[in-house]
Structure 1
Amino acid sequence: MFSKPRQMQKSILIISLFVSSLISAQKWENDWSTAAALAKENHQNVVLVFSGSDWCAPCIKLDKNIWQSAEFQNYAKDHWTMLRADFPRKKANQLPEDQKNKNAQLAEKYNKNGYFPLVLVLDPNGNILGQTGFKNISVKEYIALLKSFEG
């Protein structure tokens, strides 16, 4: 007798949680031109992240501990344009050729030594304001570190 309403309530709850997670998910750009235009429009700097999402342990930790945290996402959405240049190695995770080329161009300009993870704070014109990598610090401390590059 109660199963239909409970089932519906459960379905509504699951859908609501899914939608809210999509809304709060970090918006990552994957193209410099788009990121720079958004940064200029929103009077923000760009946080450029070089990652190896399926092979680089510190990259994976940084993603899990910092980028995916609600605290970081809530701060970043109003303060930075996020740009990711990912270099996956596993065949199943390979990027489309045009994306590989975009990421290679970013690496040629900003990551010639191939450091992973490499996190750069850039102004909308592409000038480097500061750089870091994985740090075993709190989200609040990581935000403060990125903010410190902005002067």
Structure 2
Amino acid sequence: MKKALLILFVSLVSFAAQAQELEWHTDVAKATALSEKSKKPLLLFFTGSDWCGWCMKLQKEVLKTPEFAKWAKDNVVLVELDFPRKTAQSEQLKAQNAQLNQFFQVRGYPTVWFAKGVKTAEGKISFEALGSTGYVAGGPTPWLDGANKIITKS
């Protein structure tokens, strides 16, 4: 009986963890194509994943919560633009992230931009910035309230 309960518990925990996992894209071209197809804006998360304390705090308090996961699946296409100090990245990824960092004029981390992306006839991506935010104290509810205000005014 104990063994059956343990197996059931492990199965439920595993299922819940899988249900909360979100797909964070790193290829902006692919994410933009998904955004256009789904008619959802991009959520561009500019982060220093292995050194930025406020980025880690935003991840823990908001971006890795069930509330955020449910909201994100319904409302946005997620893109992580990381600027790590210890983790290796391809030169192509570094160049893409630096170009977007400059385009959106990111001055600190974490910064979250909401934008609509459109692939032009020339194969480039054109962005319409909707608004930005960063760390907001209080957990997922106040952060999501602010995010909703940004994406609904578009």
Regarding TM over 0.5, the answer is yes
Unaligned segments of structure 2, at least 5 residues? 119-126
Q: Secondary structure at the match of 2:117?
A: coil
1:122 is paired with a residue whose SS is strand
TM-score of the superposed pair, with normalisation by structure 1: 0.84
Partner Cα separation in structure 2 for residue 17 and residue 120 of structure 1: 32
Question: What is the number of residues matched between the two proteins?
Answer: 144
What is the rounded CA distance, in whole Å, between the counterparts of 2:47 and 2:28 in structure 1? 15
2:124 paired with 1:124: no
| Preserved contact between residue 136 and residue 142 of structure 2 (Cα < 8 Å) | no
Tell me what 1:74 maps to.
Answer: 70
1:11 CA drift (Å): 4.1
Could you tell me which runs of 5 or more consecutive residues in structure 1 were left unpaired when the two chains were aligned: none
Displacement over 3 Å in runs of 4+: 5-9
Residue of structure 1 aligned with 2:95, choices 85, 91, 101: 101
Aligned pairs for 1:2-151 (under 5 A) are 6-7=2-3, 9-11=5-7, 13-90=9-86, 93-111=87-105, 113-125=106-118, 126-150=127-151, 151=153
Q: What RMSD in Å do the two structures reach over aligned CA positions? A: 1.9
> What's the offset of the Cα at 1:29?
0.8
Q: What secondary structure sits across from 2:6 in the alignment?
A: helix
CA–CA distance in structure 2, aligned partners of residues 37 and 128 of structure 1 = 17
Larger Rg: 1
Residues 56/130 of structure 1: CA separation in 2 closer, same or farther (3 Å cut): same
Structure 2-normalised TM-score?
A: 0.83
- Residue 106 of structure 1 and its aligned partner are, at CA, apart by 1.8
1:80-137 residue CA offsets vs partner (Å, 9 max, x unmatched): 00111011112xx2223332232222213223x5421111010133211101111113
